[in-house]
Amino acid sequence: MLNMEQVNEKKRVVVFDDNAHLRDSLYFLINSSDDFICVNTFPNTRKLLANIEQNKPDIVIMDIEIPGVNGIEATWLIKHHHSDIQILILTVFDDNDKIFQSLCAGGSGYMLKTSSPSQIIQGLKDVCNGGTSLSPSVANRVVNFFLNNNSFTIHDYNITAKEKEILQHMIDGKSYKMISEAMSLSVETVKTHIKSIYKKLHVNSSSEAVVKAIRQNIV
């Protein structure tokens, strides 16, 4: 049995999905992990912000097609009001439009519901550590989209050389800790640089920064 100190060390997760079986499965999966605790699940987004305020999650697992505002709009609302909350999209959709809309809305990752339990837990770990978690087929779509899209507009946004280096590490999917080790910087220094990057790019998450950096050929 976990003591209260162990529970308090775990990252708090809230699930929004209208599939009752999946909600239950995610609830038990998350609560069986060492790093996370599922504090609540919801079948709709009708009281989205109130539920977020009440449950104070570190991470949200969000479906796209759900009663109330859809998961993409819900993601934008959560990030607009609580920029520190990480959002992992978990959906059946793997089309380009929904992938990029979700990431641009502030999603920290995009995984398909066909992902294994271990992949979902790893996805939670990735977004929790500042990385971007994508299912393999989704990652392939992102890469292929940019490889085949030559209509980039070049912007600079006054991004410094060090910030561009950090952005490249973010594009490579590295966490804050991995970036700090690669650049011989403290994690806090990396976080300070990333906050500066967010401000300059007018974004609120690592996935938004990555998408914008690639789309506009910043690095």
pLDDT the model gives residue 141: 65
| The one-letter amino acid at 186 | S
pLDDT the model gives residue 186: 93
pLDDT (average), residues 115-130: 90
Q: What is the pLDDT of residues 173-184, one digit of tens each?
A: 788 899 999 999
Asked if 46 and 21 touch (Cβ cutoff 8 Å), the reply is: no
Q: What is the pLDDT of residues 193-212, one digit of tens each?
A: 999 998 888 887 777 787 77
pLDDT the model gives residue 146: 57
Considering the chain, what is the average pLDDT of its residues? Answer: 85
* Alpha carbon distance 104, 132 (integer Å): 12
pTM of the model: 0.67
Q: What is the share, in percent, of the chain residues with pLDDT greater than 70?
A: 87
E strand map for 63-153: 86-91, 109-112, 133-134
pLDDT (average), residues 85-111: 86
How many other C-beta atoms can be found within 10 angstroms of the C-beta atom of residue 198? 16
By the 10 Å C-beta count (0-12 exposed, 13-18 middle, 19+ buried), 166 is classed as buried
Q: What is the pLDDT of residues 61-92, one digit of tens each?
A: 999 999 988 999 899 889 888 988 999 999 99
pLDDT the model gives residue 194: 92
Widest CA span of the chain, in angstroms? 56
pLDDT the model gives residue 157: 79
Q: What is the pLDDT of residues 6-35, one digit of tens each?
A: 456 899 999 999 999 999 999 999 999 999
Give me the count of residues in the chain.
219
Ordered domains of the chain (ranges, CATH): 4-139 (3.40.50.2300), 150-215 (1.10.10.10)
pLDDT the model gives residue 69: 86
